[in-house]
Amino acid sequence: MTRVQAHARSVERIVRAHGGGGELMNRFLVDHVLVRLGNAKLNELTDGAVLESPTARLVFTTDSYVVQPLEFPGGGIGRLAVCGTVNDLAVMGGRPLGLSLGLIVEEGFELDRLDRLLDSIAVAAGEAAVDVVTGDTKVVERQNGDGLYINTAGVAALDDSVQLGFAFVRPGDAVVINGTIGDHGLAVLSVREGLEFDTTLESDAAPLNGLIQRVLGAGVRVRFMRDATRGGLAAVLADVAERSGWSVEIEESEIPCRPATRAAAELLGLDLLHVANEGKVVMVIDGDDVERCLSVLREHSYGRRSAAIGRVTDSQPPLVELMTRVGGRRIVARPYGEDLPRIC
Amino acid sequence: MASDVSDLVSDVSESVERIGRRVQLMEVCGTHTVSIFRHGLRSLLPEGLRLVSGPGCPVCVTAQRHIDAAIELARRSGVVIATYGDMVRVPGRCGSLEEQRGAGADVRVVWSARSALELAVRHPQRPVVFLAVGFETTAPATAAVVLEAVRRSVENFFILAAHKLVVPAMLALLEGGSVPLDGFLCPGHVSVVTGSRAYAPVVERFSIPCVIAGFEPHDIVRAIAALVRQVEVGEARIENLYPVAVTASGNHVAQTFLDRVFRVCDAPWLALGVIRESGLELRPEFEWFDALPRFGIELGADVDSPACRCGEVIQGKVMPEECELFGAGCTPLRPVGPCMVSSEGTCSAWYKYRAAMPVHRRPVGTKQPMGPVGLKLLTEPGMCAQPARGSRS
């Protein structure tokens, strides 16, 4: 048996053999992965999972997670890896059937820390009521990775009744969001850069499939949904305008936002509309369904601060316009990359 | 708050109408520039009032010679460059720091002068060079860490001293006389350090009103209203509308730090040339920290791209859209000039927020793309060698 520990008091770490396909890898899978994420399909440790499809149409998505730092207030790479992929399925209207989990671990990574991240994956998957049904582990040489990268893919069932897309968006529709913006991006940034604020900023990372299914189940006529991740609310709305051919008008005063998050963004010179979220869905819905939608959203723990923030108009050319708190108007553009913090 | 602002806007409109000609005001603070755009203030103000952005964005005024020196430093083996974020993409004659990083240079973004010093403490075997840019806002922090480096005997910490002073630049603009100006919206942060009295030469020598403003939209509109009122009645006074932070004589602690470490020198500004007594250089007793002699680098010439009009933009002579490159050869993704790089740069803010509504309602990409222009032409053969690969720690 390979002893990973050099001596009794040292930290147990990932070595190349953990990804080598041999006994050490097998023990890692059983003692660290299955013990946390195990289920009938995963426990088989076969080359793939067999899923029963309840619908003719399926949604299939994948995403890779390379966030630094790996852990931050309100989440970590494990929680993100579940929520991000579940949300991509959910905003397509899908009900997740299973996730894959690909771990790319850097040699020397502490096993305790990996356990903690696997725990967070288990918690998030539990919240989303979806199993990790297949997976893969690779170990890369020291210095060839930032500790841990994760890839998850997911498959979801899509009911025939669900018809979503830019093409369904029309003037008179309303734009709804399920809570405060900017929390995730600023939480990660504040930890990454060692910024200290009076209040701890927490990521909003959350699986939204339950919330979204309730809205669809309540008969709200949803035209289009997207989770406002990188690029923030601005990127989603810019896509809506560009791809639907209609303009979007939003009210700054209606956009939910925590004062601490706003203050942090102002301090760093960042535009909150551009900051990433990991638990926010932007919905374009029939203008007559706003009240019903908001009441369903607000009943859910991930939708307490839901708000109608704007509307689709027939103004041409198609642009996103923000009515500012002081009554001004400006255009909201898609950010070009990551906003750089300012100097003074 | 909206009603406050709309009342103030009505005052401004009525006042401008009574003045009977176009009133041109200049803000000299990047944070003001961005706030004006972000809150859509231009869309509220009357047509007869023109806001132009002066030399208030620290990145945008940094001379080519300093950018080139920073890039040269980044190419030296083992050197770690510590810089504020928006400096990394400014194009020099040999690419940007970001490009140097891609080629193996060790360029790290820091949020404060202090974190640059900490970087040096954590890596005692590597020389760490902090790019000391910015106005009176960031200069005291640089001075403080230089003193701290002395106290802690940190021997591998150096600075590229390129700090600038705002008021001399305002005076130089007025002396140039080519920009018609009716008033200055004075920077809140800089004034905290300098004090409101620093603007006395502007009002006394040139009879130009100066109003110091905070950063909330109503602060800015209130300051604009105050400026327009002064113009209307023919006054030129210093008004401090940010009294919660700004005093007449400024922050003495910060001034003491500055005075101990730096002395005032003539300094090169992007496109404005050398302005007398407008920069800060290390005092002889702190010359140890000066990265240029330490690494045997001499400042070169400032050769600005002929097509780029950043220089005229920061003097308020042209609006960003009057530059041929704007939105075509020069975008935030591929900036040609510094005004497009910094988040506080005039061109960047103009591009990002598409300026005043509804005048500039044109979709992105209506200009023909021109491809990269200008800078390559200025590169001499062999001057842009690859950086020496330093060992990353």
Q: Which of B91, B100, B133, B70 is nearest to B269 (CA)?
A: B133
d(CA B107, CA B84): 10
pLDDT at position B389 over 70: no
d(CA B27, CA B7): 22
What order of strands is seen across the sheet that includes strand A281-285? A222-227, A281-285, A174-177, A307-313, A247-251, A320-323, A329-331
Are B138 and A195 within 8 A, CB to CB?
no
Looking at the DSSP bridge assignments, the partners of residue A151 are A64, A102
In chain B the domains, ranked by start, together with CATH numbers, are 1-308 (3.40.50.11740)
Q: Which residue stretches of A129-220 are H helix?
A: 183-192, 209-217
Are B58 and A344 within 8 A, CB to CB?
yes
**CA angle (A19 as vertex; A16, A25 as ends), nearest 5:** 110
pLDDT score of B380: 45
C-beta separation of B84 from B131 below 8 A: yes
pLDDT at position B80 over 70: yes
Min mean pLDDT across A45-49, B97-101, B191-195, B389-393 is at B389-393
Q: Could you tell me which chain B residue has the CA closest to the CA of A190?
A: B111
Put simply, whether A259 touches B (Cβ < 8 Å) is no
- b/e code B25-60 from CB counts within 10 Å (16+ = b): bbbbbbbbbbbbbbbbbbbbbbebbbbbbbbbbbbb
Q: Output the CA–CA distances (angstroms, integers) from residue A163 to A93, A158, A169, A247, A343, in the order listed.
A: 8, 9, 11, 21, 46
**CA angle (A227 as vertex; A221, A233 as ends), nearest 5:** 100
Q: Could you tell me which chain A residue has the CA closest to the CA of B45?
A: A328
Q: Which residue has the higher pLDDT, B54 or A200?
A: B54
* Each residue's pLDDT expressed in tens, for chain A with a length of 344 residues: 444 444 445 689 999 999 888 999 999 999 999 999 999 999 999 999 999 999 999 999 999 999 989 999 999 999 999 999 999 999 999 999 999 999 999 999 999 999 999 999 999 999 999 999 999 999 999 988 889 999 999 999 999 999 999 999 999 999 999 999 999 999 988 887 666 666 678 999 999 999 999 999 999 999 999 999 999 999 999 999 999 999 999 999 999 999 999 988 887 888 999 999 999 999 999 999 999 999 999 999 999 999 999 999 999 999 999 999 999 999 998 887 666 555 54
CA B218 to mean position of chain CA atoms: 23
Element at A136 (helix H, strand E): strand A132-140
For residue B3, the distance in angstroms to the closest alpha carbon of chain A comes to: 8
In this complex, which of B39, B59, B351 lies closest to A326 when CB atoms are compared? B39
Per residue in B353-387, pLDDT (tens digit) is: 764 443 333 333 333 333 333 333 334 445 555 54
CA A293 to mean position of chain CA atoms: 21
In this complex, which of A269, A319, A326 lies closest to B217 when CB atoms are compared? A326
Min mean pLDDT across A115-129, A299-313, B168-182, B189-203 is at B168-182
C-beta separation of A98 from A51 below 8 A: yes
C-beta separation of A101 from A132 below 8 A: yes
pLDDT, chain B, mean: 87
- b/e code B110-142 from CB counts within 10 Å (16+ = b): bbbbebbbbbbeeeeebbbbbbbbbbbbbbbbb
pLDDT score of B393: 35
Q: Output the CA–CA distances (angstroms, integers) from residue B128 to B78, B156, B193, B295, B390, in the order listed.
A: 9, 6, 27, 12, 12
Give the E-state strand segments of B254-320 in sequence order. Answer: 262-269, 273-282
Name every chain B residue with its beta carbon within 8 A of the beta carbon of A319.
Answer: 361, 363
d(CA A322, CA B353): 10
d(CA A216, CA A133): 26
Q: What is the DSSP letter of A29?
A: I
CB-defined contacts A:B, below 8 A: 116
C-beta separation of B316 from B170 below 8 A: no
Dihedral of alpha carbons A253, A177, A168, A276, sign: positive
CA B138 to mean position of chain CA atoms: 11
Residue that is written with structure tokens 């990002």 in the block: B352
Put simply, whether B361 touches A (Cβ < 8 Å) is yes
d(CA A160, CA B361): 40
Q: What is the pTM of this model?
A: 0.81
C-beta separation of B156 from B126 below 8 A: yes
Q: What is the DSSP letter of A32?
A: I
d(CA B261, CA B73): 22
C-beta separation of B97 from B90 below 8 A: yes
Q: Could you tell me which chain A residue has the CA closest to the CA of B38?
A: A330
In this complex, which of A317, A326, A336 lies closest to B332 when CB atoms are compared? A336
pLDDT score of B359: 35
Task: Give me the numbers of helices (H) and strands (E) for chain B, helices first please.
Answer: 16, 11
pLDDT score of B392: 37
Q: Which of B390, B374, B367, B347 is nearest to B64 (CA)?
A: B374
d(CA B195, CA B186): 11
Can you state the angle between helices B217-233 and B30-38, rounded to 10 degrees? 110
Put simply, whether B294 touches A (Cβ < 8 Å) is no
pLDDT score of A26: 92
Non-local CB neighbours of B263 within 8 Å, separated by 6+ positions: B280, B281, B283
Put simply, whether A337 touches B (Cβ < 8 Å) is yes
The pair of three-digit structure tokens given for residue B277, joined into one six-digit string: 């007594």
In this complex, which of A326, A333, A342 lies closest to B5 when CB atoms are compared? A326
C-beta separation of B253 from B113 below 8 A: no
Put simply, whether B61 touches A (Cβ < 8 Å) is no
* Longest distance between any two alpha carbons in chain A, whole Å: 71
Name every chain B residue with its beta carbon within 8 A of the beta carbon of A321.
Answer: 357
Element at A27 (helix H, strand E): helix A23-28
In chain A the domains, ranked by start, together with CATH numbers, are 16-158 (3.30.1330.10), 166-331 (3.90.650.10)
d(CA B53, CA B184): 10
Put simply, whether A271 touches B (Cβ < 8 Å) is yes
d(CA A84, CA A99): 11
C-beta separation of B120 from B156 below 8 A: yes
Put simply, whether B135 touches A (Cβ < 8 Å) is yes
Pairing state between β A148-158 and A281-285: unpaired
Name every chain A residue with its beta carbon within 8 A of the beta carbon of B218.
Answer: 326
Per residue in B96-112, pLDDT (tens digit) is: 898 898 888 999 988 88
Are B217 and A333 within 8 A, CB to CB?
no
Share of chain B above pLDDT 70, in %: 89
d(CA A268, CA B388): 33
Q: How many residues does chain A have?
A: 344
